[in-house]
Amino acid sequence: MSDTATLRKEDFEAVIGLEVHVELQTASKMFCSCSARTFGEEPNTHVCPVCLGMPGTLPVPNWTAVEWALKIALALNCRINRFSQFHRKNYFYPDMPKDYQISQYDYPLGVDGYLEVETTEGEKRFRIHRVHLEEDTGKLIHIGKSGRISEADYSLVDFNRAGIPLVEIVSEADMRSPEDAKAYMQALRTLLLTLDVSDCNLEEGSMRCDANVSVRPRGSTEFGTKTEIKNLNSFRSLERALAYEIKRQIDVILSGGS
Ligand code: ADP
Ligand code: ZN
Ligand code: MG
């Protein structure tokens, strides 16, 4: 690794990997028969003991959701695992009634794929690390001055979204600029719309993105320390957040920080 003290801004490159979540537009939810088409509906009207996480309930997988997730994995040139498994991902959050999310961990549906993307610098191949199936959480509505949690007097929870099938698509850290990330996300959205598995509506949250980003001296093959920007819901915010964060990280390193 070169001595960062002698480097200038232009000597750095960004390393970016995206985690994209997509809600499947199946008729019913992932593990119960409640409707999965709940956006804009009266809160808590599409719920049952299963998606409310009542004790003693039995989740039964939605096979259409499994098929659609496999379709996505195949379209992304993934290898399909012959054995796949759901796990409980335990964490406390008030919009998750069970306090765990049913997700996949060591045996995702698809692994090791790629997506070819037309960029301003020509066609690039971004590798896909994994494609897995999980369930969406409920939605918190913060009541107060601004709708932000920090200024809220109290919060309301709507479980209509809880249990909607959610596919997570994790890329390898193959992108090198905010433009790459945007082009990848746009190509992925077009692919998913073509497969007709989701409406991919970023504003309504049926497609969302977490952006992982680090910087390193150009030519280095090691990864720097990454930060993760969660829940980006437009192409513009993805590009702008990455540009801001790349500059911030370079400034930190150039001023001797880490
Ligand atoms: P986590 O378990 O913290 O979510 P992962 O290793 O699963 O982290 O990676 C999540 C995403 O971050 C992937 O898209 C991956 O390519 C990307 N990523 C991992 N390390 C880095 C890094 N140093 N810089 C940028 N992106 C990274
Ligand atoms: Zn239900
Ligand atoms: Mg992550």
pLDDT in tens, 33-83: 999 999 999 999 999 999 999 999 999 999 999 999 999 999 999 999 999
Q: Using an 8 Å Cβ cutoff, are 159 and 52 in contact?
A: yes
Helix (H) or strand (E) holding 119: strand 110-119
- Between 146 and 242, the higher pLDDT residue: 242
User: Rounded to whole angstroms, how far apart are CA atoms 166 and 112?
Assistant: 19
Average pLDDT estimate for 240-244: 98
Residue 101 binned pLDDT confidence (cut-offs 50, 70, 90) = very high
Residues 14 and 30: beta-carbon distance below 8 Å:
no
Distance 90 CA to ligand 2 centre (A): 20
- Please state the atom number of ligand 1 nearest to the C-alpha of residue 19: 14
Whole-angstrom Cα distance, residue 212 to residue 143? 30
Spacing, Cα 95 to ligand 2 middle (Å):
15
Question: CA-to-CA distance for 254 and 205, rounded, in angstroms?
Answer: 37
Identify the helix (H) or strand (E) that includes residue 190. helix 178-195
Going from the Cα of 223 to the center of ligand 1, the distance in angstroms, rounded, reads 10
Q: Which ligand is nearest to the CA of 105?
A: 1
202 pLDDT more than 60: yes
**Mean pLDDT, the chain, whole residue set:** 95
Distance CA 148, CA 140 (A): 10
* Ligand 3 center from residue 17 Cα (angstroms): 10
5 pLDDT tier (thresholds 50, 70, 90): low
CB atoms within 10 A of CB 7: 15
Closest ligand relative to 226 C-alpha: 1
CA–chain centroid gap for 90, Å, is 18
What does the pLDDT read at residue 147? 82
- The atom of ligand 1 lying closest to the CA of 15 is 25
pLDDT at 6: 84
Ligand 1 atom closest to the Cα of residue 225 is 23
Ligand nearest to the backbone CA of 220 = 1
The answer to whether residue 189 scores a pLDDT higher than 60 is: yes
pLDDT at position 230, please?
A: 96
Element (H, E) at 209: strand 207-217
User: For residue range 8-23, what is the model confidence (pLDDT) as tens digits?
Assistant: 999 999 999 999 999 9
Per-residue pLDDT, averaged over 198-202, amounts to: 97
Percent of the chain residues topping a pLDDT of 70: 98
Are 29 and 36 in contact by the 8 Å Cβ rule? The answer is: yes
